[in-house]
Amino acid sequence: MTRQLHLNAFLMGTGHHEAAWRHPDSRPEDTLDAQHYVRLAQIAERGKLDSIFFADNLAISRSVRYNSANHLEPITLLAAIAMLTERIGLIATASTSYYEPFQLARKFASLDHISKGRAGWNIVTSAGEDEAQNFNLDKRPAHADRYARATEFVEVAQRLWDSWGDNARVLDKDTGHYADTDLISPIEHIGKYFQVQGPLNLPRPVQGHPLLVQAGSSEAGREYAARFAEAVFTAQQTLDDGQAFYADLKSRVTTYGRRPEDVLILPGICAVLGGTEAEAKAKEAELNALISPEYSVDQLSRILEHDLKPYPLDGPLPPLPDEDAVAGMKSRSTLVKQLARRENLTIRQVIERMAGGRGHRVFAGTPEQVADQLDLWFHSGAADGFNVMPPNLPGGLEDFVEHVVPELQRRGLFRTEYTGTTLREHYGLARPVPNTNRTKEHAA
């Protein structure tokens, strides 16, 4: 088959533009209504998108005075969405720093069974200092320690999913045998961070393992993605940067005995759409006019780990620490600094450039122009698909599904119908074969 791109809809409250909740057409009161997200998922499913995705944060925003900080717990929310959708993949973010492997392995296995094979896990290590303080810690663990824990965490989760053989549940009423216990094994894991007996207390997920997604682009994040990720959500501002990231990550995959095509790279794109380019630019300007500088400066300070409040908005960024000195969002802080230097931006201009996608690429144009950009990145070795980030909801998602998706379909770049039923089938990824050795290994 001709290679086609993959599309994930990243859904966030009223939209990705930080001022979307203030737009006249916005309904911020709906962000705690599950039906709001069900409707969004159904729009994405109507467009035959591969999946929807929810981010998560384990602490309230310091800037809640100026912006919504309401986040329904995503696994719970996706279980509700699963009952009112049929094909769309369901990806939730969950942290390896503050959960336990048995707990999350069970939650994602449950979501996979509830959805009949549509679950995905976006693996994060949680960069926020305030998150750590909600989990019996004074400060967040060091960057290297977070990734070391995340490595052992996912290894344990995979072993738990494999602790049941695919045919372990026999349901034989005549013999009275519910399960073949020869196909169910403890994992007896003893490691640096975790001690887990196992086995899991429910059968192997429909997909074998839920799809594993990762979003960090630091050196440690890239190495982690090469080892575990099957889809990577990433942020690049230029085609050259996208190509460099794509080539680097694909080359790393082979060192772990994996094929480059087994890892799909999906850069974020916040597309502001209009019937003409001028109309799209006007929509972008309308959203930017609603920005609260107090919120934006605080958010940018958090990313850069440097307080920007004393500096004039129309002046340049001050000298900032190198990536090695950043303890939180290393790759994102570097992206912001490179953007500001490359285009000689003031703090106010950086804020406007970040407002739509927090470092992901924002593009305002017609559906044909947006499709041209996706086509270019896809065929230039910068992307296997895209993490679609509507600037406002539901309108931004409806515009993308109704106008960009048909254009991509006309070009033969995107499916016109689903051909599979599971998330792995949508992404063209194999179902993992049960690794019985995983249930016999002990960590060093």
Task: Tell me the per-residue pLDDT of 265-319, one tens digit each, with 9 for 90 and over.
Answer: 999 999 999 999 999 999 999 998 888 877 777 778 777 888 878 888 888 888 8
The Cα 44–Cα 396 span in angstroms is: 11
Residue 416 has pLDDT above 80, yes or no: yes
Count CB atoms within 10 A of the CB of residue 443: 15
User: What are 184-209's pLDDT values in tens digits?
Assistant: 999 999 999 999 999 999 999 999 99
Residue, of 350 and 418, whose pLDDT is higher: 418
Residue 437 pLDDT class (50, 70, 90 cuts)? low
Percent of the chain predicted with pLDDT > 90: 69
Backbone angles phi and psi of 267, in degrees to 5: -65, 150
330-343 helix and 293-304 helix, angle to the nearest 10 degrees: 110
Q: How many Cα atoms within 13 Å fall on the side-chain side of residue 444?
A: 0
> Which range among 63-77, 109-123, 377-391 shows the weakest confidence by mean pLDDT?
63-77
Element (H, E) at 82: helix 74-82
Instruction: Please state, in angstroms and rounded to a whole number, the distance separating the CA atoms of residues 52 and 86.
Output: 13
- What are 234-255's pLDDT values in tens digits? 988 899 999 999 999 999 999 9
User: What is the DSSP code string of 393-405?
Assistant: TTHHHHHIIIIIH
Distance of alpha carbon 151 from alpha carbon 142, whole angstroms: 14
pLDDT band (50, 70, 90) for residue 357 = low
Tokens of 29: 């009161």
pLDDT recorded at residue 60: 84
Closest by CA position to 163, among listed 432, 433, 439? 439
| pLDDT confidence tier of residue 66, bands split at 50, 70 and 90 | confident
74 confidence band (pLDDT: 50, 70, 90): very high
Is the pLDDT reported for residue 343 higher than 50?
Answer: yes
The pLDDT mean for the chain works out to 91
Residue 427: predicted pLDDT? 98
Q: Which one-letter amino acid corresponds to residue 122?
A: N
Contact predicate 229/127, CB 8 Å: no
